[in-house]
Amino acid sequence: MAAPLLARQSGTAGTGSTGFGATMFDLVAEVPARRRGPESPFDVCHVGVVLRAVLFVHGAVAIAMVFVASTPAIWLALVGAGASVALPAVLVWLVVVCALKRPLAAAPAPVQWGAVTSLGAIVGFGAGRLLSVLFYESAATVALLGIGPALAGAAMAAVIFHWLSLRAMATLPAETTARLAELQSRIRPHFLFNTLNTALTLVRLDPARAEGVLEDLAELFRVAISESDESVTLGAEVDLAQRYLDIEQIRFGSRLHVTWELDPEAASARVPPLLLQPLVENAVRHGVEPSPEGGVIRVRTKVKLGRAVLSIANSVPKEPSRPGHGMALKNVRERLRLMHDVAAQFEARQDKDVYRVQIVVPL
């Protein structure tokens, strides 16, 4: 039987490789997915954005204090004092922008700039007043610590918003590339035709089992050719992978051993669509298919430290298969980065006779 539904090869499904005429499934891989456009620059509710914004503001504070400090000791004291009020100020700005991201994204560009810089001025003014209460008493100094931090807050907010806007525009080409690769790897006509042949054979021998194969195949292709959402639950991805492996179980019989260790609490984690299926397909192709004795695949989900951990492990045959191009792993890694940024982790490694892929995503 030919290769499974998703593959590592970079070529798209075409009429020349199958011996069949063009089908609706071939055309799906040739049409780029419709996207809503660039990501919103107000989507700051991510750990990566928060870390970068906080580091930028504190770096700016540290540089500014160089010009007013006469000694390193004074510079450290000033940096500490500035950081003590800069941190809550930037966090308040991020929280408010995150809460208002939908109305702000729908507003005209001048309104967006006015809103983010005004909010920056407000939090900067509040930070300055807090600093004056903590360290100063004179009225002139209090007035100065109101105007200066407000202007600095507005400037910082403008710089961060400009960076977020550039980041949103830069994300679109990478997302489009990952999405196109995902579409191009979805449909494998060989898998479809061979599965249908298997079902036809089972119709005569075991009609009930043939019905189950066709139901699993229909669900796989329903997800593959539908206009998928931006994210799905990990539980839905596990269900789809189970359907795929049920079909492959008919192909390999006793050569394929699959174990599932699933934590129900991890099922609600959000992941990009069609994330797990290419990973189990790789496990079948490189861990089971080349071995005359077959192999073992273990899929495990669990919750650890408030995050969902997904692990796919497969045995490595004595005679390994021909190395692939790594497109599936690269595609999964890229889509995880686009969705969760630094909050997600992806690791693929081989330990002796076991190849393991581990993914960690926030709940």
| Residues 227-239: b if buried by 16+ CB within 10 A, e if exposed | ebeebbebbbbbe
What does the alpha-carbon distance between residue 156 and residue 162 come to, in Å, rounded to a whole number? Answer: 10
299 SS3 class: strand
pLDDT in tens, the chain (363 residues): 433 333 333 333 333 333 333 333 333 333 343 444 445 677 777 778 888 888 888 888 888 888 888 888 888 888 887 787 788 888 888 888 888 888 888 888 888 888 888 888 888 888 777 766 666 554 444 444 557 778 888 888 888 888 887 777 666 565 655 554 554 455 455 566 767 777 887 887 888 878 888 887 777 777 666 655 567 899 989 988 888 888 888 878 889 999 999 999 999 999 888 888 888 888 888 888 888 888 899 999 999 988 999 999 999 888 766 666 667 788 788 888 878 878 889 999 888 889 999 999 998
Structure tokens at 328: 């599936």
The domain limits of the chain are: 24-29+186-362, 47-173
Give the architecture (CATH level 2) of 24-29+186-362: 2-Layer Sandwich (3.30)
Three-state SS across 199-225? HHHHHHHCHHHHHHHHHHHHHHHHHHH
Does the model's pTM come out above 0.85? Answer: no
| Residues 264-278: b if buried by 16+ CB within 10 A, e if exposed | eebbebbbbbbbbbb
What does the alpha-carbon distance between residue 321 and residue 317 come to, in Å, rounded to a whole number? Answer: 8
